[in-house]
Amino acid sequence: MAVSLNASSVAIPTIALDIGLMALLVVVAFAIVRMRSLFAIVMLQGVYSLVCAAWFVSLDAVDVAFTEAAVGAGVSTVLMLAAMLLADRKSEPVPMKRQWGPLLIVLIAGAAMILAVGDMPNYGAANSPANSYVGMDYIARTAEDIDIPNVVTAVLASYRGYDTFGETVVIFSAGLGVLLLLGLNGNAGRWRAKPNGHRVFRPSAPAAAVSKTSDETKPNETKKRRGRPRKSKASTPDGGDK
Amino acid sequence: METALGYMFLAGAFALIVSMALMLARLIGGPTLYDRLLAVNSFGTKTVLFLCVFCFIIDRPDGVDIALLYALMNFIATIAVLKFFNYRALDVNLNRVSVKGEDA
């Protein structure tokens, strides 16, 4: 899997680096499962994305690594934090009695995937599906058809343009639905859950917290600015589906 | 000569992975929130360095661009997390926050 990627000069075996990164991934995954502090879990998920992205680079999937770094380590960390602020800081431990079923499902799914590895083509094989059907055609004709240097962009935006358009519509309508559910008046992020489930409206900007008397005016003042960052957050996962 | 340089980069990459593991230990064991935050930030820096070294190992120095993106993402994510923990919101204008406001 981790053949050194330079054909011209002397090949340096980087498989040990891959093994190190994978070991880190395993450690992080077990820590995420075992820890109870949700903040630490959110941070560990960011770390998982970072290590994943480094490993993608080592697999020569640079564009996937870009997306993983931007969406996985950047946006979803913040979204997870926002979700955590609405809930508790700690998660309750699940008794072992209720974990046998999920463990069984995970083991079966993992065994199926390991079985499927046998059918995978070798890394860079000439007759693998990625190299044998339309892929070579795209690479050969991008320069004259689309006239841009990046083949990935040509495939996404032109050869499979309708596909990408459909994805964009799906993401856009999902973001629209979330916005409609949360409310478009700019108060969406200001509802906070109390431990007993009782909801309290509390403007949380520090200026509003200092001057308690102006509680009513501060949220209105921030209405206009709240719309845009939320929108851009909703459209950023668009890049993750490439 | 070239090969010796490559193996030196390889050893450096190993050292970076080891230091990433150390950061991970602090992140998992760290008693306070700020230990973990610093560990994540430092882990991101280690990832950036690892990517730079790795791009030279596989002889594609243009991959340093990705490392630059990671550095930016790392910085923005840390700022976002800190903002979230202090103010519970992302749209706080830090220019207008008074020092007194942090106590409230």
Judge whether A64 and A56 are in contact, CB under 8 Å: yes
- Please list every residue in chain A whose beta carbon sits closer than 8 Å to the beta carbon of residue B34: none
For residues B99 and B95, what is the distance between their CA atoms, to the nearest angstrom? 11
Task: State pLDDT tens for residues B26-73.
Answer: 888 878 888 888 888 898 899 889 888 888 888 777 778 878 888 888
Closest partner CB to A14 (pick from B39, B58, B104): B58
Q: Taking the domains of chain A in order of start, what are their residue ranges?
A: 1-93, 99-126
For residues A182 and A203, what is the distance between their CA atoms, to the nearest angstrom? 16
Q: Does B25 or B31 have the greater pLDDT score? A: B25
Task: Compute the radius of gyration of chain A from its Cα atoms.
Answer: 23
pTM: 0.68
Beta carbons of A62 and B76 less than 8 Å apart = no
Task: Compute the radius of gyration of chain B from its Cα atoms.
Answer: 18
ipTM for the predicted complex comes to: 0.82
| Number of compact structural domains in chain B | 1
User: Which residue range is the domain that position B95 belongs to?
Assistant: 2-102
Distances (CA, A) of A143 to A32, A134, A160: 45, 15, 16
Beta carbons of A207 and B89 less than 8 Å apart = no
Q: How far is A115 from chain B (nearest CA, A)?
A: 30
Beta carbons of B57 and A12 less than 8 Å apart = yes
- Please list every residue in chain A whose beta carbon sits closer than 8 Å to the beta carbon of residue B57: 4, 12, 14, 17
DSSP states of A75-105 = IHHHHHHHHHHHS-SB-PPPPGGGGHHHHHH
For residues B77 and A183, what is the distance between their CA atoms, to the nearest angstrom? 26
pLDDT classification of A118: cutoffs 50, 70, 90: confident
- The pLDDT assigned to A136 comes to 78
Q: Does B11 touch chain A (CB under 8 A)?
A: no
Closest partner CB to B54 (pick from A58, A74, A226): A58
Q: Which amino acid is at A160?
A: R
Q: For residue A73, give the nearest of B25, B26, B51, B31 by alpha carbon.
A: B51
Secondary-structure breakdown of chain B: helix, strand, coil percentages, each rounded to the nearest 5: 85, 0, 15
Q: Report the Cα A5 to chain-centroid distance in Å.
A: 26
